[in-house]
A = this chain, B = another copy of it.
């Protein structure tokens, strides 16, 4: 992509409305635009990052044997009355009437719709187990939306739901999803913890949250320095120096975390209230054993920024970066600079490496600031001075030193650098 033909409306100044760094940087980097409180447009650069998170989630959910579907945003009141949540949900659930005066809500979650699908189509144990997921927009009318994508009202979420014959099968799937979540956040290149958690208004008996660690996190996590057991501090009500309740050896360390995922073993809370049953091997009608598994897509992108930033801007992990490589030609009218830039651009495209060329006629300092702000992991500088010695500069966003590389080794070197960054977060590839 050539920057002069793209749409990245960066801002020089820190927007006054933004309290947290991810919100500030997403606005400054031209990733999002506010439409109303807690409601945003994802501009092209922001959407690219969302798609990166989405694709990692999709690949790992498919690998775990889940199947993607797409449920509607508008949901009829009848389904929520069956589960008892039409009354139980407060003002966080936005409601409206259609032109025929029928009641609907904007889906804050999809347990009711998916349970309705299961009871319609899954009649026999032979059709089980089934795990379904979607990546869909949800709406929750927060009292005080803030922090940009960290606490929005309209937001993108991956939610999965599993249907099993027995609680053993369901708990095994819970572990399967747990492992998928570990792979997802590892592949996102993030430092995270899975923590025991409260089940809240979703219900069920077992749940884990996945937290991206960041000094700015809203939640306190206590994590044993010996056995790695972690829990939400409001759940176990332990103090930082207490001895771990399980291994009895380690001490709890306190971290700040941003919740990006939450998995629940539900049992038959929803299947019972909505009369969702199937015939088991003995021909007996029994309720589905269910689980549900959520990830905030935009929130994961925002948490990645909270964890990875410096005074100059975002420092994307390679797997979430909107572009992996930035080409920065400094003397854009020089013919050698032009030729080498063009060759590298085409060479990288051919290798399916996402490259952004800063082809605008601006000073070197301005160009570097732009690339640092939007956080491209690998910056390649092409200047007349370097090229006079047949060298281009390669610099990582999270390192200070620029290394000078021979022009004819540059493409190979960039590809290797990129592969090395991927290997660091994902040893299996």
Which A residues are within 8 Å of any B CB, using their own CB? Answer: 5-7, 9, 30, 33, 35-36, 39-44, 46-47, 50, 65, 67-76, 79, 91-92, 94-96, 98-99, 102, 104, 106, 113, 116-117, 120-122, 130, 132, 137, 139, 141, 143, 153-154
A136's nearest neighbour on chain B, judged by CB, is: B137
Given A44-B68, A47-B68, A73 contacting B76 (CB threshold 8 A): no
Contact B43 A69 (CB under 8 A): yes
Chain B hits for A139, CB < 8 A: 73-74
Chain B hits for A39, CB < 8 A: 72, 74, 76
Chain B hits for A46, CB < 8 A: 69
Chain B hits for A117, CB < 8 A: 33, 41, 43
List 17 additional contacts besides A6-B67, A7-B69, A43-B117; criterion CB under 8 Å.
Answer: A30-B121, A35-B72, A35-B76, A35-B79, A36-B76, A36-B102, A41-B69, A42-B69, A42-B71, A44-B68, A44-B132, A47-B68, A73-B139, A91-B99, A94-B99, A98-B153, A99-B143
Q: Which of B65, B73, B92, B116 contacts A154 (CB 8 A)?
A: B73
Chain B hits for A40, CB < 8 A: 72
Q: Which of B9, B113, B143 contacts A121 (CB 8 A)?
A: B9
Shortest CB-to-CB span from A153 to chain B, Å, is 8
Shortest CB-to-CB span from A111 to chain B, Å, is 13
Shortest CB-to-CB span from A11 to chain B, Å, is 9
